[in-house]
């Protein structure tokens, strides 16, 4: 078990990045928690490879922003008997979007707030001619106030003299990258669109059901991957934005992070709904508490009860619905509608 990395005391592992291991550590001199990425170079690495191993840190230094993880320092430390380059960044204790999806339901409003934060950071990176190229739930972290920060620039491209190669996470790659024809700002927008799609639908993973890249590319171009199926509680206005970000035709995507962000910001949100179970949801809007319940009556009919601060709101209550399918449909229509209107 690793207990020390250079001057740092290891608290525990945080995961494995594109080029190495990431640890949660304590800087004893500053009494500050940090994250350290150990870059795992080959045994016989060259001087050029050693210098390139710090590209991520250089990019983070270039792209300092409220919504991008902050680089603290770089150094060379001994790790498992080898001297290896290490990049130290701020430690964000609330973890990643991936971790959040694995633990709990993520609401429509929380999803949109996260994507807006990331778009601010990504817009800044693009202004520095940096392309992230690996946007996915595991690479979006939360600070103490649950504001999102884009992290892991290990595959990022844009430094002067940096050699270009196509890169990224297959399930989030746009068709132009799979076809080896382009990888740029619009490619990042597509990958963030896939991340948006996963968050809004609370998808922990996005499995590729195809046996080769050619089949995957064909499915993406026909908009069959992802399948564009959405949970019933999601409003059409939000789905429209996600679908545009995921357009396989580059000319039909958002042309910039600014345009993408402004499309989300134009939405006026109502109730921030979350499920207690399938037939009971609770929400908040302007410090008022809302509940929505679907239940079967003694007469084998169905009713929907909508309450604000424990008082029925007659306008949104339904009684004596004749069949369950209709009742469920009306129940989710109410959630979708009041997510934007109240």
Nearest alpha carbon to residue 148 among 186, 204, 199, 194: 199
Query: What does R_g of the chain's alpha carbons equal in angstroms?
Result: 23
Q: Which residues pair with 24 in a beta bridge?
A: 12, 35
3-state secondary structure at position 292: strand
Residues 204, 209: Cα–Cα separation, whole Å: 16
What distance in Å separates the CA atoms of residue 321 and residue 310, rounded to the nearest whole number?
Answer: 22
pLDDT in tens, the chain (342 residues): 889 999 999 999 998 866 889 999 999 999 999 999 999 998 878 888 889 999 999 999 999 999 999 999 999 999 998 999 999 999 999 999 999 999 999 999 999 999 999 999 999 999 999 999 999 999 999 999 999 999 999 999 999 888 878 888 789 999 999 999 999 999 999 999 999 999 999 999 999 999 999 999 999 999 999 999 999 999 999 999 999 999 999 999 999 999 999 999 999 999 999 999 999 999 999 999 999 999 998 788 999 999 999 999 999 999 999 899 999 999 999 999 999 998
Q: pTM to 2 decimals?
A: 0.96
Strands 140-142 and 288-296: unpaired
170 and 138 Cβ atoms separated by less than 8 Å = no
Q: Are 21 and 38 in contact (CB under 8 A)?
A: yes
Instruction: Establish whether 134 is a catalytic residue.
Output: yes
Tell me how far apart the alpha carbons of residues 192 and 185 are, in angstroms, rounded to a whole number: 11
Residue 17 is predicted with a pLDDT of 67
**How is domain 97-265 classified at the CATH fold level?**
Transferase(Phosphotransferase); domain 1 (1.10.510)
Cα 217–Cα 125–Cα 90 angle in degrees, nearest 5: 110
Out of 134, 188, 236, 272, pick the active-site residue. Answer: 134
Asked if 107 and 66 count as a contact pair (C-beta separation under 8 A), the reply is no
Dihedral angle over CA of 235, 237, 240, 244, nearest 10: -130
Between CA 116 and CA 125, with CA 122 as vertex, the angle to 5 degrees is 150
**Contact assessment for residue 274 and residue 283, using Cβ atoms and an 8 Å cutoff:** yes
Residues 6+ apart with CB under 8 A from 111: 196, 199, 200
CATH architecture of 4-90: 2-Layer Sandwich (3.30)
The string of DSSP codes covering 63-94 is T--TTBPPEEEEEEEEETTEEEEEEEEE--TT
* Domain locations in the chain as residue ranges: 4-90, 97-265, 272-340
- For the stretch 77-121, pLDDT in tens is 999 989 999 999 999 999 999 999 999 999 999 999 999 999 999
């Amino acid at each position: 078990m690793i207990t020390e990395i250079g001057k740092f005391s290891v608290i525990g592992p945080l995961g494995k990045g594109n080029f190495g291991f990431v640890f949660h550590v304590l800087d004893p001199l500053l009494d500050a928690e940090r994250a350290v990425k150990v870059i795992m170079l080959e045994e016989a690495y060259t001087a050029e490879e050693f210098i390139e191993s710090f590209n991520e840190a250089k990019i983070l230094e270039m792209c300092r922003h409220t919504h991008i993880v902050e680089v603290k320092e770089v150094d060379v430390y001994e790790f498992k008997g080898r001297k290896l380059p290490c990049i130290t960044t701020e430690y964000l204790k609330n973890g990643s979007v991936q971790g959040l999806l694995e633990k709990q339901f993520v609401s429509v409003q929380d999803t949109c707030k996260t994507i807006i934060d990331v778009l601010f950071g990504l817009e800044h990176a693009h202004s520095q001619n940096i392309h992230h190229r690996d946007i996915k739930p595991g690479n979006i972290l939360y600070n103490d106030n649950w504001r999102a920060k884009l992290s892991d620039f290990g595959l990022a491209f844009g430094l002067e003299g940096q050699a270009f190669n196509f890169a990224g996470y297959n399930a989030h790659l746009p068709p132009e990258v799979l076809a080896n024809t382009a990888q740029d700002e619009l490619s990042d927008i597509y990958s963030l669109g896939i991340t948006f799609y996963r968050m809004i639908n609370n998808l922990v993973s996005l499995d590729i059901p195809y046996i080769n890249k050619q089949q995957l590319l064909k499915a993406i171009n026909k908009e069959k991957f992802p399948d564009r199926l959405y949970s019933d509680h999601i409003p059409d206005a939000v789905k429209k934005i996600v679908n545009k970000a995921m357009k396989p035709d580059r000319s039909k995507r958002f042309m910039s992070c600014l345009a993408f962000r402004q499309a989300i910001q134009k939405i006026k949100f109502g109730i921030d709904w979350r499920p207690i179970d399938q037939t009971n949801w609770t929400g908040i809007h302007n410090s008022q508490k809302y509940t929505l319940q679907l239940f079967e009556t003694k007469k084998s009919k169905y009713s929907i009860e909508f309450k604000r601060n424990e008082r029925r709101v007659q306008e949104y209550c339904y009684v004596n619905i004749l069949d369950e399918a209709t009742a469920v449909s009306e129940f989710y229509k109410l959630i979708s509608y009041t997510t934007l209107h109240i």
